[in-house]
């Protein structure tokens, strides 16, 4: 804490002597790049970790797609990497297949799309867009990253265990995950999974508390809640979701640890396994499922909301048009946030849960479709009569909207408990959630990287590579997940090593399609090399970025091209207007940044905005108090 | 056949790359130095066209692939509730496909139509409450209708099983299913206790319960056509899930918490074979909750018999006690007489007292 304060003091001192050689309090390499408390550095740490994880998670999926797409293929050539996980006949080990599926899910959901997405952009954008010097607590923010790092190390090492990493599916339902005798992955691999996730939860709680505090307390003068960019709103709601739901996962994990190691029976009852009747009675595996999905469902929105928030910003900027229905967007995100907590049991319609409860959750679930639909319509209307600039970020944002719609509509089917009976745990579900939360959030992540890369690294990414990357990924994602709906309708269950046991030539009918999906997956995955190259090359060799490359309104573009510690060299700018004054009638430029007072733009002010001019003095008067707050 | 989609998409890929790289070269020639305006316009138009092409090829690929896959979807539901959920599925699917198509069309069309033009200015159009109200209310109404019909069907499916339902117990274990029938005499399943499980009595049937005497086990699932069937579902070790794809039945098997699902099969195996023209067709029961190494192979064959064939089959089955007479020892003394009725006739067992006791009961 003291360090955070002293940093703030230094900056404040800065402002007063107008000493712009801001490098004079240069930190050592370790404090600047490794154990940094600067939100921008932490964001980059999250981003690069997230990208590395994405490649690991993606390559795991390619291995099991090889098995699914080409069941006859010998995977002997993978032996140098996978060792004994390839058996004597050159086939993928059946338990390792499940481990791959499990780790792919865990890595993608938590390490890429939670830490890599929300960790990166909440950290990076919250202080920059609300006009703050840094996070409320730089130290806790640093701890948050290093807990995540520790969690990553543990999860990554579990991949190399002889008994394999956790293998019971990313939802790790007990008793399978609780009993080491049920499968080898439930041994040490599961223990490491649980330890890793415990640290992960600690990390995301620290992050979340910081995001919430920062948004509430450190907004610059004039930045009222109704002038906040939708990105900040989405990060705020995401943090609230995480703060309220992750502890529940922690308790689920703790009880599971007790069951595994201390002989309790929270989830275990009347089990006979491997010729032995276990003493546990009275536990309920369903309890675990309730606890897990109480996080698990909000988690979907933890992953998705930041992507939607960033997309709102990017679409508005590149349509040169205000986002349509700003307040409706906030309202629908708020609605989604609240509803996210009361729909979890729609994952459990056929788990033996009381069917009456199923009815209740079906009603609640389909309500959440309404705010989601509103968001989609608002995006489309924002494009209408815009003047669209297709930056790579814009392309990925449009891609996100398309994927969000395509994946979202099947949610209406799955949320219907009567229809879920047949579709539950089939490829229909796999297709649904990969489109709506996996691919859509991934597109949000990519859009964010392309859009804010100039702010992060002071350089531009190559546009053409960005276009190629987008088109490969967009077409590829649809080619992978669209046909999966058909396989699901044909009744193919997920997490199947092969489909021979379906009988009746069921497998043969979709052999070609499965191969097609696998090829598409390989192409899509390989195309990410365009991105990786572009990203790492541009960090060092990209074209120097201008201060405001996209002619955007939000505050981060008022900072220097390479913002130092403290973000703004002089005073933090005040905010006088909402962030979406694009193509305002009467204005010569097609954008008016948030820090431009209405008194400076009489030609474009709407009648009610002229009244705002009177309040500008008031906003400016807050400067002293704002500086005071950093001094405290 | 699928290679056609592949081909189309590869062509599309090639096209887009060609166009992009060409425009790139063009840019370099045209702009030379730093004129971002030109670069923006030509690359922008390519991307805008890409959106339209994506929509076009996507629509073609979507329709074609659907028609191509349709014959391989699950055949007509072989249960009464399955017919209802199937028709609801396709109705809902039509509704959401409509929404999907319209909104994606607008998205890609707008992206193309309103691509950047430096002579034009975007329309400042921040809000329209009426419009927002309309598209909040319409999905809400559509959703309400879908939910309501779904709920009614769900309520019927999950209602109490009719009293004449054939009671069959399915027990999942790593990696297979045990099937137990309530028997011909009392149509009541006897108790089960997991602590009584041994190598022969692998279900842990409790022989202190007289209902268990006539219970018999099977390796296949036989169901009577046109009669309600109540599946009582258990698991011994980890979670499993009963999935009868052709009957649209799914219910998890949970250790320590018996679950149930009732339904009425309405197509016999023979009828289904004739309908599909596949003489070797068989209904299947699969597992849909990941349970370990053998999860994907946890399958048994399901036969739906005409009621009289079913009766005949049931009558032919021998109670567990009959095939394993040594378990008579576990039966308490006061029930021994009733239990011994099921023990096959052996010289010693057929003394007069035994038969007398049975007749008294």
Query: What ipTM, to 2 d.p.?
Result: 0.91
Domain total in chain B: 2
* Nearest Cβ partner for A272 among B123, B236, B243: B236
Q: Determine contact: B28 vs chain A, CB below 8 A.
A: no
CB atoms within 10 A of CB B359: 8
Q: What is the DSSP letter of A565?
A: T
Put simply, the answer to whether A500 touches B96 (Cβ < 8 Å) is no
Instruction: Answer yes or no: do B104 and A405 touch at CB < 8 A.
Output: yes
* CATH number listed for the domain at residues A2-262+283-541: 1.20.210.10
CB A128 within 8 A of CB A560: no
In this complex, the residue of A355, A409, A500 whose CB is nearest that of residue B96 is: A409
Alpha carbons B358 and A376: distance in angstroms, whole number: 73
Locate the chain B residue with the closest alpha carbon to A315. B111
Of A309, A306, A293, A284, the C-alpha closest to A342 is A293
For Cα atoms B159, B163, B164, give the angle at the middle one, nearest 5 degrees: 120
B-chain residues within 8 Å CB-CB of A426?
A: 288
* B7 CB within 8 Å of a chain A CB: no
Is residue B256, in this structure, part of any structural domain at all?
Answer: yes
The candidate with the shortest Cα–Cα distance to A575, out of A537, A544, A615, is A615
Residue from the list A273, A358, A590 with its beta carbon closest to the beta carbon of B154? A358
Q: B218 has which bridge partners? A: B179
Mark whether B170 and B255 lie in a shared domain. yes
Write phi, then psi, for B188 (nearest 5 degrees).
-125, 135
Q: What is the pLDDT of residue B50?
A: 94
Nearest-CA distance from A343 to chain B in Å? 14
Tally A–B CB contacts below 8 A. 373
Q: Looking at the partner chain, which of B46, B114, B151 has a beta carbon nearest the beta carbon of A387?
A: B114
Q: Which residue of B has its CA nearest to A468?
A: B17
Smallest Cα distance from A355 to chain B, Å: 6
For the cut 90, the answer to whether the pLDDT of residue A628 exceeds it is no
Do B107 and B215 have their domain in common?
no
Q: Look at A285 and B257 and tell me if their CB atoms are within 8 Å.
A: yes
Which residue of chain B has the CA closest to A508? Answer: B72
CB nearest A584 (choices: B46, B124, B284): B124
Q: How far apart are CA A544 and CA A552, in angstroms?
A: 18
Interface of B with A in 43-82 (CB under 8 A): 43-44, 46-48, 50-51, 54, 58, 61-62, 65-66, 69, 72-74, 82
Same domain, B193 and B64: no
**Would you call A566 exposed, middle or buried from its count of C-beta atoms within 10 A (0-12, 13-18, 19+)?**
buried
pLDDT per residue rounded down to tens, chain B (361 residues): 555 555 656 666 666 666 666 555 555 544 444 445 445 668 899 999 999 999 999 999 999 999 999 999 999 999 999 999 999 999 999 999 999 999 999 999 999 999 998 888 999 999 999 999 998 999 999 999 998 999 999 999 999 999 999 999 999 999 999 999 988 888 789 999 999 999 999 999 999 998 999 999 999 999 999 999 999 999 999 999 999 999 999 999 999 999 999 999 999 999 999 999 999 999 999 999 999 999 999 999 999 999 999 999 999 999 999 999 889 888 998 988 888 888 876 545 444 443 433 333 3
In a domain, B123, yes or no: no
Select from A175, A381, A491 the Cβ nearest to the Cβ of B245. A491
B64 occurs within a structural domain: yes
The average confidence (pLDDT) of chain A is 92
Query: Which pair of structure tokens corresponds to residue A100?
Result: 């791959």
Domain residue ranges of chain A, discontinuous segments joined by +: 2-262+283-541
Separation of CA A6 from chain center: 32
Its domain, for residue B330, covers 166-342
Q: Does B272 touch chain A (CB under 8 A)?
A: no
DSSP one-letter code for B218? E
Distance CA B142, CA B165 (A): 36
Return the H-helix or E-strand segment holding B261: strand B259-263
pLDDT at A213: 95
DSSP for residue B213: T
> What would the two tokens of residue A460 be?
């531009």
Instruction: Report d(CA B138, CA B135) in Å as an integer.
Output: 5
**B208 and B286 housed in the same domain:** yes
Q: Cα–chain-centroid distance for residue B234? A: 18
Q: Which of A546, A609, A526, A594 is nearest to A61 (CA)?
A: A526
For chain A, how many residues are written?
A: 632
What are the tokens at B100? 């999907």
- Nearest 5°: CA angle at A49, between A44 and A50? 95
Q: What are phi and psi of A146, to 5 degrees?
A: -75, -25
Sheet of B216-218, strands arranged across: B216-218, B176-181, B166-173, B229-235, B259-263
Q: Best interface-test mutation with A: which of B40, B67, B103, B199 has the largest number of A CBs within 10 A?
A: B103
Q: Which residues numbered 161-180 in B keep a CB inside 8 Å of some CB on A?
A: 173-174
- Which CA distances in Å does A136 have to A7, A36, A43, A46, B107? 12, 15, 15, 18, 39
Pair B204, B331 in one domain: yes
Q: What is the dihedral of CA A243, A245, A249, A251, to 10 degrees?
A: 80
- Cα A107 to Cα A110: distance, rounded to the nearest angstrom: 6
Average pLDDT (A427-442) is 96
Contact A422 B48 (CB under 8 A): no
Identify whether residues B108 and B51 lie together within a single domain. yes
Nearest CA in chain B to A266: B256
How many C-beta atoms lie closer than 10 Å to residue B135's C-beta? Answer: 19
Mean pLDDT over A535-539 rounds to 95
Half-sphere exposure of B37 (CA within 13 A, CB side): 4
Is position B142 within any domain? no
Report pTM. Answer: 0.91
Structure tokens at A437: 């939360």
Are A422 and B248 inside 8 Å of each other by CB? yes
Q: Alpha-carbon distance B361 to B352, whole Å? A: 15
Backbone angles phi, psi at B286, to 5 degrees: -120, 170
pLDDT band at A23 (very low <50, low <70, confident <90, very high): very low
């Amino acid at each position: 804490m003291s360090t955070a304060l002293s940093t703030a003091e230094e900056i404040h001192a800065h402002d007063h002597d107008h000493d712009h050689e801001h490098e004079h309090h240069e930190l050592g390499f370790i404090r600047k790049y490794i154990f940094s408390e600067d939100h921008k550095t932490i964001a980059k740490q999250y981003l690069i970790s997230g990208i590395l994880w994405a490649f690991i998670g993606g390559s795991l999926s390619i291995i099991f797609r090889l098995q699914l797409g080409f069941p006859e293929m010998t995977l002997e050539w993978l032996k140098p990497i996978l060792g004994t996980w390839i058996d004597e006949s050159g086939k993928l080990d059946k338990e390792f297949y499940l481990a791959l599926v499990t780790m792919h899910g865990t890595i993608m959901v938590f390490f890429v799309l939670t830490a890599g997405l929300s960790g990166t952009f909440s950290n990076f954008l919250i202080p920059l867009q609300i006009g703050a010097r840094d996070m409320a607590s730089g130290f806790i923010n640093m701890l948050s990253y290093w807990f995540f790092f520790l969690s990553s190390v543990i999860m990554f090492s579990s991949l190399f265990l002889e008994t394999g990493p956790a293998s019971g599916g990313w939802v790790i339902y007990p008793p399978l995950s609780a009993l080491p005798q049920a499968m080898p992955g439930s041994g040490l691999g599961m223990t490491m999974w649980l330890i890793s996730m415990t640290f992960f939860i600690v990390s995301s709680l620290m992050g979340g508390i910081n995001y919430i505090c920062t948004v509430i307390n450190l907004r610059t003068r004039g930045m009222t809640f109704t002038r906040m960019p939708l990105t900040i709103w989405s990060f705020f709601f995401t943090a609230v979701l995480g703060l309220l739901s992750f502890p529940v996962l922690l308790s689920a994990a703790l009880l599971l640890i007790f069951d595994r190691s201390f002989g309790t029976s929270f989830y275990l009852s009347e089990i006979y396994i491997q010729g032995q009747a276990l003493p546990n009675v009275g536990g309920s595996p369903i309890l675990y499922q309730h606890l897990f999905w109480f996080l698990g469902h909000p988690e979907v929105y933890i992953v998705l909301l930041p992507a939607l928030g960033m997309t709102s910003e990017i679409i508005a900027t590149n349509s040169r048009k205000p986002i349509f229905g700003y307040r409706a967007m906030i309202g629908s995100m708020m609605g989604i946030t609240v509803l996210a907590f009361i729909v979890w049991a729609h994952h459990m319609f056929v788990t033996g849960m009381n069917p009456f409860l199923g009815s209740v959750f079906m009603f609640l679930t389909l309500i959440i479709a309404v705010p989601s639909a509103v968001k989609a319509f608002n995006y489309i209307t924002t494009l209408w009569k815009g003047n669209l600039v297709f930056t790579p970020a814009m392309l990925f944002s449009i891609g996100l909207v398309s994927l969000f719609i395509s994946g979202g509509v099947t949610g209406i089917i799955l949320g219907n408990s009567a229809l879920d009976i047949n579709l539950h745990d089939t490829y229909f579900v796999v297709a649904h959630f990969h489109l709506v939360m996996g691919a859509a959030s991934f597109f949000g992540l990519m859009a964010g990287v392309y859009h804010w890369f100039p702010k992060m690294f002071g350089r531009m990414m190559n546009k053409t590579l960005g276009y190629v990357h987008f088109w490969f990924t967009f077409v590829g994602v649809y080619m992978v997940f669209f046909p999966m709906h058909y396989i699901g309708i044909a009744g193919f269950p997920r997490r199947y090593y092969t489909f021979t046991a379906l009988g009746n030539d069921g497998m043969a009918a979709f052999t070609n399609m499965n191969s097609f999906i696998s090829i598409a997956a390989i192409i899509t995955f390989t195309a990410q090399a365009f991105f990786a190259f572009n990203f790492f090359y541009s960090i060092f060799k990209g074209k120097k970025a201008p201060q405001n490359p996209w002619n955007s309104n939000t505050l981060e573009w008022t900072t220097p091209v390479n913002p130092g510690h403290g973000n703004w060299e002089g005073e933090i700018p005040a905010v006088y207007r909402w962030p979406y004054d694009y193509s305002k009638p009467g204005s010569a430029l097609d954008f008016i940044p948030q820090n431009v007072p209405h008194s400076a733009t009489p030609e474009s002010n709407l009648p009610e905005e002229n009244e705002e001019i009177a309040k500008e003095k008031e906003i400016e008067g807050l400067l002293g108090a704002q500086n005071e707050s950093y001094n405290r | 056949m699928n290679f056609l989609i592949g081909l189309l998409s590869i062509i599309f890929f090639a096209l887009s790359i060609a166009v992009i790289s060409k425009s790139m070269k063009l840019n370099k020639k045209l702009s030379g130095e730093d004129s971002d305006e030109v670069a923006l316009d030509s690359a922008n138009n390519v991307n805008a066209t890409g959106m339209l092409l994506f929509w076009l090829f996507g629509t073609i690929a979507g329709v074609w692939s659907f028609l191509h896959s349709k014959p391989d979807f699950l055949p007509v539901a072989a249960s009464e509730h399955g017919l209802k959920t199937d028709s609801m599925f396709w109705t809902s699917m039509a509704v959401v496909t409509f929404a999907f198509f319209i909104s994606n069309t607008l998205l890609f069309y707008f992206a193309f139509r309103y691509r950047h033009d430096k002579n034009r200015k975007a329309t400042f159009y921040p809000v329209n409450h009426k419009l927002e109200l309309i598209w909040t209310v319409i999905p809400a109404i559509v959703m309400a209708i879908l939910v309501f019909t779904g709920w009614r069907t769900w309520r019927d499916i999950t209602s109490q099983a009719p009293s004449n339902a054939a009671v069959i117990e399915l027990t999942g274990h790593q990696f297979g299913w045990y099937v137990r029938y309530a028997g011909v005499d009392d149509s009541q399943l006897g108790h089960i206790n997991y602590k009584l499980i041994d190598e022969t009595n692998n279900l842990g049937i409790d022989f202190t319960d007289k209902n268990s005497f006539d219970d018999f086990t099977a390796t296949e699932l036989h169901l009577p056509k046109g009669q309600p069937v109540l599946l009582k579902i258990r698991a011994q070790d980890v979670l499993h899930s009963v999935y009868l794809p052709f009957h649209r039945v799914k219910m998890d098997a949970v250790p320590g918490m018996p679950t149930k699902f009732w339904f009425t099969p309405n197509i016999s195996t023979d009828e289904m074979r004739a309908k599909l023209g596949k003489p070797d067709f068989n209904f299947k029961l699969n597992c849909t909750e990941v349970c370990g190494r053998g999860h994907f192979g946890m399958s048994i064959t399901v036969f739906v018999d005409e009621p009289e064939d079913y009766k005949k089959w049931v009558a032919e089955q021998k109670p567990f006690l009959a095939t394993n007479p040594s378990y008579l020892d576990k039966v308490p003394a006061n029930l021994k007489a009733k239990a011994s009725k099921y023990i096959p006739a052996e010289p010693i067992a057929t003394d007069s007292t035994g038969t007398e006791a049975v007749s008294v009961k």
